[in-house]
A = this chain, B = another copy of it.
Amino acid sequence: MATIKDVAKLAKVSPSTASRAMHDNPAITQKTKARVWKAMQTLHYAPDFNAQSLANKRSNAIGVILPVDHHEIFTNPFFLKVLRGISEACYQAQAMVNLATGSSQAELLNSIDIMVTQGMIRRFIVLYSEKDDPILTKLRQLDAQYVMIGKPYQLVNETPYVDNDNILAGSDAAQFLVDHGHKNICFVYNDLKKMVQNDRMLGYQRVMMDNQLLINSFELPAQEYPGGRQLVIQYLTQHPEITAFITVDDMLGLRIQQVLKSSTMVADREASIIGFNNSVFSEAAHPALTSVEIFPRRLGHEAAKIAVGLQSDDHLSTKLIVPHQIIERHSVATV
């Protein structure tokens, strides 16, 4: 591998000039820069990241923080897609991608500590947004920068983030059902402490109120908790008027669909369903689920672009809203 000294030698300048030329330092003449650049080309020069990080006290890597391990999370293809987007943007920006996970919060905190203090990683992407998250406190305390995927709960103005307009997405989903003639619509969620779910519900509520319709909601616990099926049956029998469901994730929609199709307790009961995330689940269902696509890969891509551009001294924060899109399939009927 060619080093900066080789380049310098070939361009007949000193390593310091070469270094400055590479960073397009204004102190260097165009003519000199050109010489250096040509030398870089011919030698296929590429800087050593470790040497650079050492000298700069800052790694070129972006740390990616997944939520603390939890059955549901590591089952959700959403994160993998986001990772793909991040990876893509980082590749284009010549940055490395460093993963941080943990089976407990303590472990994750420690991982992050190591990445910052020993790895000199100073830029992170946090793949979720939760209330009172100690991880964010830690990052701030370590003087690291981060961009979030999802809208932050705290320091909303100071935190760069990329997100969908989940309130709008919730509204759109509700409006879609209303437009199809539904009046008794139920919102199915999982955990309202998550900003996404909360926002989508807000959007749903807004539309219902605008149309003077009743608000119904239902908490369906994660798959690993038993009895979910029973809860759905119960809800359905207690609310015979409900003709449509908005589910905060396709998976929930699928589960409700399964119950509708298979339980003798609710035989002949029909209901429209619209989900979120446009995941495999929605395609796999029959009838295929209408779902709101939120473009996770794009979310990741944009977040990474912001993270890569983060300077250690800037305190302005970029916010980016990625559009969503309703993918119509066959699970919503017109009444």
Contact = CB atoms under 8 A, between A and B. Distances in A.
Interface of A: 1, 46-51, 53-54, 59, 61, 64, 69, 74-77, 79-81, 83-84, 87-88, 91, 94, 96-103, 107, 110-111, 114-115, 117-120, 223, 251, 254-255, 258-259, 261-262, 279-281, 283-287, 297
A279 B75 contact: yes
Given A1-B117, A50-B119, A74-B80, A98 B101 contact: no
Given A80-B80, A258-B286, A280-B251, A54 B46 contact: no
Contacts of A255: 284
B79 A91 contact: no
A81 B80 CA distance: 10
A276 to B, nearest CB: 16
A99 B101 contact: no
A3 to B, nearest CB: 12
A81 B84 CA distance: 15
B99 A83 contact: yes
A47 B118 contact: yes
A118 B261 contact: no
A59 B91 CA distance: 19
A46 to B, nearest CB: 5
Nearest to A283: B223
A258 B284 contact: yes
Nearest to A284: B254
Identical copies of this chain, number: 2
A64 to B, nearest CB: 8
Contacts of A84: 69, 74, 101
Contacts of A74: 77, 80-81, 84, 297
Contacts of A77: 74-77, 80
20 contacts: A49-B119, A54-B54, A64-B99, A69-B84, A80-B80, A83-B101, A87-B99, A87-B101, A91-B107, A96-B98, A96-B115, A96-B119, A97-B98, A97-B99, A97-B100, A98-B99, A223-B284, A262-B287, A281-B281, A281-B284
Contacts of A119: 49-50, 96
A290 B24 CA distance: 61
A50 to B, nearest CB: 4
A138 to B, nearest CB: 16
Q: Give the top 4 A-B pairs by smallest Cβ distance, nearest first.
A: A50-B53, A87-B101, A258-B286, A97-B99
A90 to B, nearest CB: 9
A80 B84 CA distance: 12
A75 B284 contact: no
Contacts of A96: 98, 115, 119
A255 B254 CA distance: 13
A100 B84 CA distance: 9
Contact of A49 (B75, B81, B118): B118
